Each structure stands twice: as C-alpha cells, then as structure tokens.
Amino acid sequence: MPEFIDAHGVAIVYDVHPSRTEARGVVQLLHGVGEHAGRYSALIDALTADGFTVYADDHRGHGRTGIRQHGGPEKLGRLGAGGHRATVDALWRFTQIIRDENPGLPLVLLGHSWGSFLAQKLVNAHPTAYDALVLSGSALPWPGSLNSGPLNKPWDGPDATGVEWLSSDPRVGADFLDDPLTTSTPMLRLFGPWNTLQVLSRPRRGLARDVPTLLLVGSEDTVGGPRSVHRLADAYRHRSGFSDVTTQVYPGIRHEVFNDLTQADVRADLSAWLDARFPVRV
C-alpha cells in the first residue's frame, strides 16, 4: 500500500488502480464519511476498463488510514490533529502527487457525499488543477440546502438498521454494518461542531477555469436530494461561470448511486459523459 505523510505527520494510505488500456485520463476518487475507498471496487473496475487510472485514498481518520492513525478501529471517522482543514490539505497534496506521476493526462476529481464536499473545496481553491468534476450523493453544503436531521428518518421503524438511507438494496446496508473499516456514527458526533461547520461552502465566484461538471443524485437521497443538487448546479453556472454542468437524477434511488439497484446504469451514464469530454485515444 503506497502512502504519503501529511503536514501533521499522519500517514495517508492510498491505492493506484492502473488503466487496463492505454490511459486517457486519471480519476482521483474521494469517498464519504465513515467509509473507505475499498467500497468502490465496481466503479473502479469500470473506470480502469474504460481507460482511466484511478487513485483512491482512505481519508484522515478513515479506513486503513484511520486504523493506523488511531491504533485501532475504536476512533474510526475521527479526523485527528488539524481536523477538516488538514483533511482538505492532505487531499490537495494527493492531487499534486497524482499530477506529478501522470504528466499530460487530464485529471477528473470524483467525490461522493462528504467526498463531494471535499471536492468542492478543492475546486474552489485550485480550479486549474482539475479537468472535470463528478459529484455523487452531493448537495449545496450551505444552511437551508443540507439536511441537518436524521438521514434515516423516512425508513425508521422497529426493524430498521439505521442505514437504509444508503441504498434501496438491503445488501448494501448489511455489508456496510459488517465492514470492520466503516462506522455509522453521524458526522456531527465524529467531527464535532467546529469541524462539521468547516464542511460548509459555496462555489466561488469567477473561478479561473471552466470545469465540466457532472452531478449524480438519487431522488430519495436524504442528504440534500435533487432540490439541493439543482441549487449546486445553478451556483456553478451563475457564481463560478461553468458552462458545462449536467445533473442526472435517478428515480427511486437513495444516497449511494454507485451502490444502488441501478448502479450499472449510473456507471454507463458516467462512462458516456467522460467519453464525450475525454475521447478514447486511437
């Protein structure tokens, strides 16, 4: 497992999945809160088959990074010294590593859920570093556009597991709960009030680059849902000046569009969108 050391001395563990054909681009994959990069194997397989090399880290406090950082699973999800800002800084360092190792190839930033909020901060700060932006299970992370209540409320009941909000496929929730590298503890309890507030942001005005952007959301997503994602799309168009913003809403699908019952369709839509912007090399 390759790793790099962040500014606070935390070893960030990551994987590199080489393209199975001549590489036409690179994807930096950012996972969500309480999980890890290993939950994206089907998506990574599809991307590498489609000509993209994928770099995927376990963020500070999460997955393999968190196990090493905290000396065990008891504090999984807790960010540690430097908090949320250090997490963003570490991901920017990761971007620089990826760029150095893949000169000349376009870089796609793909973030899910909390990873999508981290991606938004990276694009705000370093818009010229990325050639495309893909956000799934996202929202406009701003008061009034982000659900601050229990995410599982629509499915609460005597037999609820608490993670039905993730996917309409019950196996996804069961696997999440059985995974030793995940935690279902809510963000506010994991991060604390201050670091949770650091998640908030809006697309910056007049960014120096027009970044093609794809937003993928399930109609039953309780994090923000389609209304919030449409607000995010409008902000990228009118605040940041992006001219190529696509929003795809999947009916009946919940938060993890890459792990729900229509995941093959979602991967196909992503592939078609990437093909149109980064053609296969002949």
State yes or no: is 113 an active-site residue.
Answer: yes
Q: Strand 3-5 and strand 11-17: pairing?
A: antiparallel
CA–CA distance, 98 with 14 (Å, rounded to integer): 11
What whole-number distance in Å separates Cα of residue 178 and Cα of residue 182?
8
Report the C-alpha gap between 225 and 119 in whole angstroms: 18
Residue 158 identity (one-letter amino acid): P
Element spanning 183, H or E: none
How far apart are the C-alpha atoms of 87 and 77, rounded to whole Å? 12
Query: Distance (Å, rounded) from C-alpha 170 to C-alpha 192?
Result: 30
Catalytic residue from among 113, 116, 136, 228: 113
Question: Encoding tokens for residue 201?
Answer: 């942001």
| 59 a catalytic residue | no
Annotated catalytic residue, options 58, 221, 240, 260:
221
Task: Specify whether the CB–CB gap between 248 and 225 falls below 8 A.
Answer: no
Which of 17, 31, 84, 255 is catalytic? The answer is 255
**Is 255 a known active-site residue?**
yes
Length of the chain: 282
Q: Which residues are catalytic?
A: 113, 221, 255
